Amino acid sequence: MRQIYRIMSDMLVPGLVCAILFAIIGGMSLLTRLGEHMKLPEKDYSGYQDVQQSKVICHREPPNIIRRGPGNWQPGKEISVEQVFQGRDEAGQHTEIQVVGIQDEQGNSRMDCYDREEHTLLFPSEGAYLLKLQSMDQERKIVRKRFILLVDHR
């Protein structure tokens, strides 16, 4: 009788373990398939005030940078960035303009021509200079634009 129990337990225990593993794996895949076909009621969040405010902010136009000064400048003459360029947001409010980069005709960086404290430009020699400007409104929407300033003795 003991010998029968030993032989049966050697076959029965691994068979039960295998059956349990198959049941677990099969149950997991069955549950995912059932979950895919299950219909859940959808929640409509469009009436929430936060969602409405987020939509207004996200669909808001970014600020605009406008050139309002003359087309060319003389070398050695100090130029106020605010005198030449103007930043406005969608509501018409003034936005601050930041100079991100300046390049000469050869593509060399000329940030040495920009005085950060005074917010002015001073170009020592003639040429065409590429200004990279940036402006940000109250909702932190950013616009980056490039302008060419001509510096010569006209």
Question: Look-up: residue for tokens 């593509």?
Answer: 107
Inside any domain, residue 68: yes
Residue numbers of the domain that contains 144: 62-151
Q: What is the CATH number of the domain that holds 109?
A: 2.60.40.1080
Q: Is residue 46 part of a domain?
A: no
- Residue 3 falls inside a structural domain: no
Query: Into how many domains does the chain fold?
Result: 1
Whether residue 126 lies inside any domain: the answer is yes
Residue 136 domain flag? yes
Beta carbons within 8 Å of 76's beta carbon, 6+ residues apart: 122, 123, 124
pTM: 0.62
> Would you state the pLDDT for residue 1?
67
Spatial distance between the Cα atoms of 22 and 122, rounded to a whole number of angstroms: 78
Query: What is the pLDDT, as a whole number, of residue 132?
Result: 95
Tens digits of pLDDT across the chain (154 residues): 677 777 777 777 888 888 888 888 777 777 677 777 777 788 887 788 888 888 887 888 889 999 987 777 888 889 889 888 999 988 889 999 999 999 999 989 999 999 999 999 998 889 899 999 999 988 888 999 999 988 887 7
> Residue 52 and residue 60: Cα distance in Å, rounded?
12
